A = this chain, B = another copy of it.
Amino acid sequence: MESTLKFIGKVHSELKKLEDCPRQEGESAPKASIEIFPEFLQAARDIKKGSELLLLTWLHQSDRSEMETRPRNNPNAALLGVFSTRSPNRPNPIGIHEVKVISIENGLITIAALEVLDQTPIIDIKPKI
């Protein structure tokens, strides 16, 4: 049983390879920009400078068959079921990121820090709770 996920935009970042990516927000993640695809711009029209958002990404380079992992790739950690971890390797590799908008220009939303790869698809944006 499955459904089809639409990509509503993508990330532009200086992080070009997985090895460059910090493991969590706050670990020196660089600034990034979000491009919203034209057919979804209307849904993004009320996002403003200063908005605090939950950004949902599709971590497209993940291994979707992995059911257990060692947290943070630590070889000494015990294996855990992936639903008890934040590993990107999971059946649906959805990333959830708390971000703050620092500017919007020509439909490109710049955010303060994001730890995902350049070209990562965006699947949803919600206001932070």
Contacts and interface: CB of A to CB of B under 8 A. Distances in A.
A68 interface: yes
Q: Report copies per complex.
A: 2
A98 to B, nearest CB: 8
A18 interface: no
**Which of A6, A7, A51, A84 counts the most chain B CB atoms within 10 A?**
A84
Interface residues of A, number: 43
Contact of A86 (B8, B90, B126): B126
B56 A40 contact: no
A84 B47 contact: yes
Contacts of A44: 81, 83-84
Interface in A52-108: 53-54, 56, 58, 60, 64, 67-68, 80-86, 90-92, 94, 96
Contacts of A2: 4-7
Contact of A68 (B43, B80, B90): B43
